[in-house]
Structure 1
């Protein structure tokens, strides 16, 4: 399928989703997933349809597929973390959102930051930052000892 046609179909699917025509959007994105089973875009779109329908478990599963197919897709990763939070999996959602890099190109990092500032995430972000600080201190200590041994 030509890129222009594919982009048009994706746009039509999102148009249907935005206008709450979930069955039509799902139908279109499922067909695209059949045509492109190894591409993340259709699973991301299907996940958003399920998220719009408040079916967080199905959305997480589909967004997880998108992340598996395209680990660098920051938008899929951010939406996966959001769905995990909405499912009540605060530790998992926080960990997922903390892996969204600031790539400067998408709104994924901004979205992740907003959700990480929720009170439900606070205990997990503090724990992760404390662990990161401990690991960093241990790494610098090891480097310092190796440097001292090497110098002497």
Structure 2
């Protein structure tokens, strides 16, 4: 790796971190502006659309989030994070069967955080009718089952 490439990668990582920090502190307009600019510079990469989708999750616009995560998956079909967040958005929107089908694609993923998130959502009582007969990763069997009230406390506003 040459110095110029390393500097560009470091700058990109810093911009992404700034976008997520703005999002976490609820500076949604600023975060959206940054991720939209990154999407202009990197239109074939998934990360700007993941950032934009997370802004929509934070704003409880799950339909908009699903659209953005779906676009990220169109660009990078094997992106486990995009797939997990798409499934989570579908579940939070109340589309449990669709969300379960999407989340099942993430189980066993090489991306531990995406797989763990998928397993947690699949354990929601609202998803149970759609996971009957489906073997979920053993780690999920011992993990605590989140509830919609837990998700609401985490700033997710589920619709049931």
Q: TM-score, normalised by structure 1?
A: 0.80
Larger radius of gyration: 1
8 Å contact from structure 1 (residues 56, 83) kept in 2: yes
Unaligned runs of 5+ in 2: 136-160
Distance in 1 between residues matched to 2:74 and 2:20, nearest whole Å:
22
Secondary structure, aligned partner of 1:63:
helix
How far is 1:4 from its partner? 1.1
8 Å contact from structure 1 (residues 44, 66) kept in 2: yes
Count, aligned residues: 129
Aligned with 1:100 (options 85, 88, 106): 106
Q: Which has the larger share of helix?
A: 1
Aligned with 2:40 (options 34, 38, 63): 34
Q: TM-score, normalised by structure 2?
A: 0.76
RMSD of aligned alpha carbons:
1.6
8 Å contact from structure 2 (residues 80, 111) kept in 1: no
- 1:36-71 per-residue CA deviation (whole Å, 9 max, x = no partner) reads 111000001100011001111110000101111111
- 1:103-141 per-residue CA deviation (whole Å, 9 max, x = no partner) reads 3443111111111011111111116x39xxxxxxxxxxx
Distance in 2 between residues matched to 1:106 and 1:25, nearest whole Å:
26
How far is 1:19 from its partner? 0.6
In structure 2, the partner of 1:4 is 10
Unaligned runs of 5+ in 1: 131-152
In structure 2, the partner of 1:21 is 27
8 Å contact from structure 2 (residues 107, 118) kept in 1: no
8 Å contact from structure 2 (residues 50, 68) kept in 1: yes
In structure 1, the partner of 2:74 is 68
Distance in 2 between residues matched to 1:75 and 1:115, nearest whole Å:
14
Distance in 2 between residues matched to 1:27 and 1:62, nearest whole Å:
15
